[in-house]
Amino acid sequence: MSGISGKIIVITGASSGIGEATALLLAERGARLVLGARRLDRLEALAARIAAAGGEAVCAATDVKRREDVVALVALAHAHYGRLDVMINNAGIGPISLFDELRVADWEEMIDVNLKGTLYGIAAALPVFRAQGFGQFVNVVSTAGLRIVPFQGVYAATKNAVRTLTEALRQEAGSALRVTIVSPGFVRTGLADSMTDPAIKAQTLEKMAEIAIPPVAIARSIAFAIEQPDDVDIGEIVIRPTAQG
């Protein structure tokens, strides 16, 4: 089924930033959405906003660090709509820092959310896709994995790990499933909220105000990958500000 209208789409990390913008755009184009994030109040407000505009969305509190939460989110899609067309693994955090600061708890959090959270999304949706005989994964990664710089070592490593496993999944998927990587550059999101180093957080917010693009730019890229005919698989989209080096 090509296009977006009528497709059942799960989005993790849907309460703000890229996830929120993607939900709004896909709903506007006729998708029926299942939204997951930790902040249920924001999810419910987003679902209500979509409904008020004539769209359709259900939601559930979802912490992608908990496999059972992600399984329950996919089960909600299947129970409510009877199938799942697209799984968007979008949830991510970026508490970047120098290695010398030994912020090991932050390293572990990035591994749990960025890497394991995506794996849990794959584990939840893949059996559904196989049983249906169709489906699409969209994994949101980062240009941080394409250009390695100081402060971002662990963050980039988690994103590159997702890039690697996504490409392997694409090769294993066969002709019935589609697998897409979307790599955003500097985007105006709440990513800095997860940063525990005050100086780096301030630098990030300053740079964000200077060059970052709006989340809807990434949403449009995700929509482009989804709306292609079933025999067209967009492998990877890299989208960044023109001013980003």
Could you give the dihedral angle defined by the CA atoms of residues 58, 63, 69 and 75, in that order, rounded to the nearest 10 degrees?
A: 30
What's the one-letter identity of residue 87?
A: M
What are the E-state strand segments in 90-231? Answer: 135-140, 177-184
Residues 6+ apart with CB under 8 A from 132: 83, 84
Out of 107, 129, 155, 186, the active site residue is: 155
109 to each of 7, 101, 221, 243, 244, how far by Cα in Å? 32, 15, 27, 30, 27
Residue recorded with tokens 């909220």: 193
Q: At residue 47, what are phi and psi to the nearest 5 degrees?
A: -60, -40
What are the E-state strand segments in 30-169? Answer: 32-37, 56-61, 86-89, 135-140
Residue recorded with tokens 């292609």: 228
DSSP 232: -
Determine the longest span between alpha carbons in the chain, in angstroms.
Answer: 51
- Look at residues 5, 7, 180 and name the one whose alpha carbon lies nearest to residue 88: 180
Q: Are 162 and 170 in contact (CB under 8 A)?
A: no
Active site residue 155: yes
Residues forming the active site: 155
